[in-house]
Structure 1
Amino acid sequence: MSDKWWHSAVVYQIYPRSFADSNGDGIGDLRGIIEHLDHLEDLGVDVVWLSPIYASPHDDNGYDISDYQAIDPLFGTFDDFDELLAGLHARGMKLVMDLVVNHTSDEHPWFVESASSTQNPKRDWYWWRSPRAGIAPGAHGAEPNNWGSFFSGSAWKLDPASGEYYLHLFSPKQPDLNWENPEVRDAVYAMMNWWLDRGVDGFRMDVINFISKVPSLPDVEVVPGHLFGDGYPYFGQGPRIHEFLHEMHDRVFAGREDRYLTVGEMPGVTVEDAQLFTDQDRAELDMVFQFEHVDLDHGPGGKWDHRDASVLDLKRSFGKWQKGLAAAGWNSLYWNNHDQPRVVSRFGDDGAARHQSATALATVLHLQRGTPYIYQGEELGMTNVPFQGISDFRDIETLNHYSEAVDVLGASPAQVLAALRRTSRDNARTPVQWSTDANAGFTTATPWIQANPNYTEINAAAQRDDPSSVLAYYRALIDLRHREPAISEGSFEMVLPEHPQIFAYTRTLGDRSLLVLVNLTGEPAEYGLPDAAEWVDARLVLTNLPGAPAIGEGHLAPWQALVISR
């Protein structure tokens, strides 16, 4: 058996501004979380990952941090934080903080100093460069290179006072830190240790594979029809990334690894990269968030260019990662987070089969080898939102894309809005649906973003005591992971790999085997197991459709999930 406690753990992500509002200002806060700790305990989760609660101007909803060692008054005080931490620990849960150190806010004192003078000692804490020769500063093409920002436009912003540009892979209010400078790394490690000393139990590290850049910051090819290029080849898995993460481990976690959880968000990471990052002998990270499966429905034009992702696409992606990290490393398992649309709307059926597809998708995910992550409201089967117009959206990425696509590139507003409704991060950021009270029971005021109108049907109060609810099914999945070593520690083997409807696999530890069979479509599915005789005397462990086809009958109802054991 592994000595890694997080192999059997389940993590729950809280996006604080949308979780629960305790003081009637329309924005979720720490006391709102405290008031719902019983919900988390009843669900059975082991770890809470808290999206940023630090001081921030909130240009990107707190992922632009102006003080890493202060609680934003929007969310509460350190007294509230300490009470939350104590409440989680008293219930046997751990707290993981969001670590955002690829960039800071432009209002962070470090950047304020850096921008104050080209001679300031902190000038080299960020990426400053002169404009291209022969082009007027501020004009298109004067930027130090042709990289685009993830939030549209150039990745460079001109500082008129000095005549130089600074790099921002995200918003202009999120300047990138220069990790080449050892003083930057010293300051980050000191801050991390400060939080661990306060009692937190680890970190989820935002875009941590971007912290090492190729220092020359070279130009890239620009795809026709785009204004800027993708600089990822020069900042994703940069030349010193493994050195930096190993140094972080030594300076922050060494000697106490068994207590803490470290997970790195890594857009674009490959299986081969992840093997290195998560191999425990290398002492870098416990696990990474990879994006392959949530990029499957992105077309050639990126996330706003939708393509259908098939069951085979999903199986091949998950199967590749399971195989790749089987010998060394560990998987993070997720469908949803604050940056992804709701899975039941994305890969399921958010209409008549919402319950069935939500539980089918949950089964596929939670019983694989790895640590499952639940995003707030996922355990209720929350869906995407019927946004009416651009004024309904709040997300900076969404608003910037609409402005660039419509106002600069001349795209059809109706077509752009259709893409936003499907893919916008705001789908994940509407209030958690607690009850049928006004605003889904989230707040007594006007919420910062409107609740999904289907809260009258989909809410925690209606599901809490319903044994047939999505919530009850999530409880059962979590309980199964906790009590079944074959789920937390067993091997993974794909079954029926080319079946176009059924996602099936086994989990085996010693002489104990479980078979997971899930129909991920809205049509009945026929199947034949290659080793059917071995499962003749199998017993039912879990199903999302009681009364549907049983073990060994060779067919599954639409969205049916069966877990059997021998």
Structure 2
Amino acid sequence: MIQTDSSEQRWWKEAVVYQLYPRSFKDSDGDGIGDLKGIIEKLDYLKSLGVDVVWLNPIYSSPNDDNGYDVSDYRGIMPEFGTMQDFDALLKGMHERGLKMVLDIVVNHSSDEHEWFKQSRSSRDNKYRDYYHWWPAEKGKPPYRYSLFDVNHDAWRYDSLTNAYYLHYFGVKQPDLNWENPKLRQEIYDMMKFWAEKGVDGFRLDAFQFAAKDTSWPELPKGYEKEFAKHVAMKPAIHGYLKEMHEQVLSKYDVMSVAEGAGNSFEDAHNLVDADRNELNMAYAFEAIDLAKSNGYNFVQFKQVFSKWDSAFAAKGWLSIFLANHDNARMVTRWANDSPEYRDVAAKMLNTFLLSMRGTPYCYYGDELGMNNPGFTKISDYKDGPSLNDYTYKLNNGMKPEDILKEMRFSCRDNGRTPMQWNVLAQAGFTTGVPWIAVNQNYTSVNVAMQEKDDNSCLQYFKRMVSLRKAEKALVYGKYNLLDAGNQQVYAYTREWQGKKLLVLLNFSAKPATVNTGINTANAKALIHNYSTAPAATLRPYEAVIYAL
């Protein structure tokens, strides 16, 4: 059999990644903001989960206009989070426990408070001018570009100091870096080497699919905002930048690398991640996660999307598998059922899915407990700047406040950023002060302390599921085959590897369900299931079971 790069065994394929949002994980000093010392306090908890890699959202110096995704110093630590000494202690503590650390690298844009931008905007002939994209005002207004986060969604901001406009695809305080400039690229690679030399084990490239620009600035079709990525992502130059980054940084260290976004096609994704391309290890595709932008989603389509991505990477390349992150609402609210009756079993079912698919699974902090959306009712409950800008934009365009808030209760990014629920003490044990964002009020029944003592809890089930993935390589490398594709309630598939065959059955609905797999499970062994009593032919609401055939 010809060895393909999908079956080639690598540590980052077998790893389970735990995404940790530092601001919301654990506050050590009572200021209401999670910090590095707080994470250090909880390293034994992270180790107990069985995960291999912890991905930290940005911890760099930042004015915090976009919760750290606006970096003012790539080699500094945000004072709210601690010091470089704290970072070094955290990394050491993780490595002592066999945990690896992945850092978010925010290099499509910087903060407007970064020294590069301060210099760049100071005069047209400053040596940092070409670190960013400028349009001189004497040429007239620049061709329209959409900004994802600006209150008016206009990506060109006029700056009177040099009578010119600068580009910002994200917030107005997040000017886009000019990757065409080799000096800028070298600064980025040197910064990545700085962290790799410290011993960091990987990088997630935030928004990197937008880094290459068509600087002839052609007019784009009216309404292109609805397909923003299709028109502005994955410009051809990006592959040259990634090959250069691979040559200078990634190939020199045993680090994993992942791109946020996988482009606009399977071809785009393969060009990012195929081993012979010498670019990145894996990509983070959004087609599936985008299905649940509003309440309710097409379940059969959900299965089709995951299946077609698996098929496209069956022989070559590698992907990430995820259902939640810092830019989305809570997994159990979006994809299943967060009512008290079903939340626990539904969260277990979703974790079974995540940890039984091909691809590197990314588990978001709190999802191991079944944390759900907090159900905020007032606009003052929300803290996310871009979401508040969007609220203003929609108000100005005639939407009723109650309709906008209803949308936000389901989909706003803040839903996935509430503090980690540690125990039944005030503020869920996250802080002794006032938390930067309110704690979900169900913390008295959904928390680590209670779930650690309960063998049937979501947390203990998550640990067992992680262990099963590690024990059964079929769940990592095995061939995936979708069964009963048209079933409106059940996601059923097999994973097959070196003579071992596993059957995964997942009821994504609140009603009992049957499934036609053509496989007799009468004598099959249930390796794991999410109810306390044995599985039967009919799946109970949100039931999950994995059989060894």
TM range (shorter): over 0.9
Letter in 1 for 2:329: P
Match of 1:410 in 2: 398
1-structure distance, mates of 2:337, 2:471? 30
> Which range is displaced more, 263-272 or 555-564?
263-272
Match of 1:111 in 2: 117
Q: Do the aligned partners of 1:130 and 1:165 also contact (CA within 8 Å) in 2?
A: yes
Displacement of 1:268 after TM fit?
5.1
1-structure distance, mates of 2:139, 2:183? 31
Match of 2:530 in 1: 544
Match of 2:238 in 1: 241
1-structure distance, mates of 2:490, 2:144? 44
Match of 1:397 in 2: 386
Say if 2:521 is the partner of 1:529.
no
Displacement of 1:145 after TM fit?
1.8
2-structure distance, mates of 1:229, 1:313? 20
Give the alignment partner of residue 40 of structure 2, picking from 24, 27, 34. Answer: 34
Question: CA 1:133–1:283 in 2, change beyond 3 Å: closer, same or farther?
Answer: closer
Match of 1:287 in 2: 282
Give the alignment partner of residue 511 of structure 1, picking from 499, 511, 516. Answer: 499
Give the alignment partner of residue 475 of structure 1, picking from 447, 451, 463. Answer: 463
Render the CA deviation track for 1:370-398: whole Å, top value 9, x for unaligned.
Answer: 11111111111000011121111000111
Aligned residues: 540
Question: CA 1:103–1:548 in 2, change beyond 3 Å: closer, same or farther?
Answer: same
Q: Do the aligned partners of 2:529 and 2:535 also contact (CA within 8 Å) in 1?
A: no
Match of 1:120 in 2: 126
Question: CA 1:93–1:392 in 2, change beyond 3 Å: closer, same or farther?
Answer: same
Say if 2:148 is the partner of 1:150.
yes
- Dislocated runs of 4+, deviation >6 Å: none
**Percent identical residues:** 45
Give secondary structure in 2 for the equivalent of 1:556. coil
Displacement of 1:295 after TM fit?
0.8
2-structure distance, mates of 1:487, 1:132? 60
Q: Do the aligned partners of 2:108 and 2:210 also contact (CA within 8 Å) in 1?
A: yes
Match of 1:559 in 2: 542
Match of 1:139 in 2: none
Q: Do the aligned partners of 1:207 and 1:267 also contact (CA within 8 Å) in 2?
A: no
Give secondary structure in 2 for the equivalent of 1:384. coil
Say if 2:31 is the partner of 1:25.
yes
Letter in 2 for 1:251: Q
Q: Which runs of 5 or more structure 2 residues have no equivalent in the other structure? A: 1-6
2-structure distance, mates of 1:105, 1:505? 45
Q: Which runs of 5 or more structure 1 residues have no equivalent in the other structure? A: 135-141, 299-305
Question: CA 1:267–1:485 in 2, change beyond 3 Å: closer, same or farther?
Answer: closer
Displacement of 1:260 after TM fit?
1.0
Match of 2:362 in 1: 373
Displacement of 1:253 after TM fit?
1.7
Give secondary structure in 1 for the equivalent of 2:145. coil
* TM alignment of 1:99-248, pairs within 5 A: 99-131=105-137, 142=141, 144-152=142-150, 153-223=153-223, 232-248=229-245
> Which range is displaced more, 50-59 or 483-492?
483-492
Give secondary structure in 2 for the equivalent of 1:121. coil
Q: Do the aligned partners of 2:292 and 2:335 also contact (CA within 8 Å) in 1?
A: no
Displacement of 1:215 after TM fit?
1.3
Give secondary structure in 1 for the equivalent of 2:283. strand
Q: Do the aligned partners of 1:222 and 1:229 also contact (CA within 8 Å) in 2?
A: no
2-structure distance, mates of 1:360, 1:379? 11
Question: CA 1:307–1:271 in 2, change beyond 3 Å: closer, same or farther?
Answer: farther
Give secondary structure in 2 for the equivalent of 1:158. strand
2-structure distance, mates of 1:477, 1:182? 46
Letter in 2 for 1:2: E
Displacement of 1:297 after TM fit?
2.6
* TM alignment of 1:430-445, pairs within 5 A: 430-445=418-433
Q: Do the aligned partners of 1:46 and 1:92 also contact (CA within 8 Å) in 2?
A: yes
Letter in 2 for 1:560: E
Give secondary structure in 2 for the equivalent of 1:416. helix
* TM alignment of 1:241-320, pairs within 5 A: 241-256=238-253, 259-266=254-261, 269-298=264-293, 306=294, 308-320=296-308
Give secondary structure in 1 for the equivalent of 2:528. strand
Give secondary structure in 2 for the equivalent of 1:397. helix
Letter in 1 for 2:542: W
Question: CA 1:234–1:475 in 2, change beyond 3 Å: closer, same or farther?
Answer: same
2-structure distance, mates of 1:294, 1:488? 21
Q: Do the aligned partners of 1:212 and 1:240 also contact (CA within 8 Å) in 2?
A: yes
Render the CA deviation track for 1:440-493: whole Å, top value 9, x for unaligned.
Answer: 110000111111111111111110121101101110111011111111221111
Say if 2:348 is the partner of 1:359.
yes
Give the alignment partner of residue 409 of structure 2, picking from 421, 428, 433. Answer: 421
Match of 2:4 in 1: none
Render the CA deviation track for 1:247-300: whole Å, top value 9, x for unaligned.
Answer: 1101102254xx2110110165432211221111111111111111111133xx
2-structure distance, mates of 1:232, 1:364? 28
Render the CA deviation track for 1:337-367: whole Å, top value 9, x for unaligned.
Answer: 1101001111111011001111111111210
Give secondary structure in 1 for the equivalent of 2:79. coil
Give secondary structure in 2 for the equivalent of 1:464. helix
Q: Do the aligned partners of 2:507 and 2:513 also contact (CA within 8 Å) in 1?
A: yes
Give secondary structure in 2 for the equivalent of 1:378. coil
Give secondary structure in 1 for the equivalent of 2:546. strand
Displacement of 1:78 after TM fit?
1.2
Give secondary structure in 1 for the equivalent of 2:453. coil
1-structure distance, mates of 2:462, 2:516? 28
Letter in 1 for 2:342: A
Say if 2:376 is the partner of 1:387.
yes
TM-score, with length taken from structure 2 = 0.96
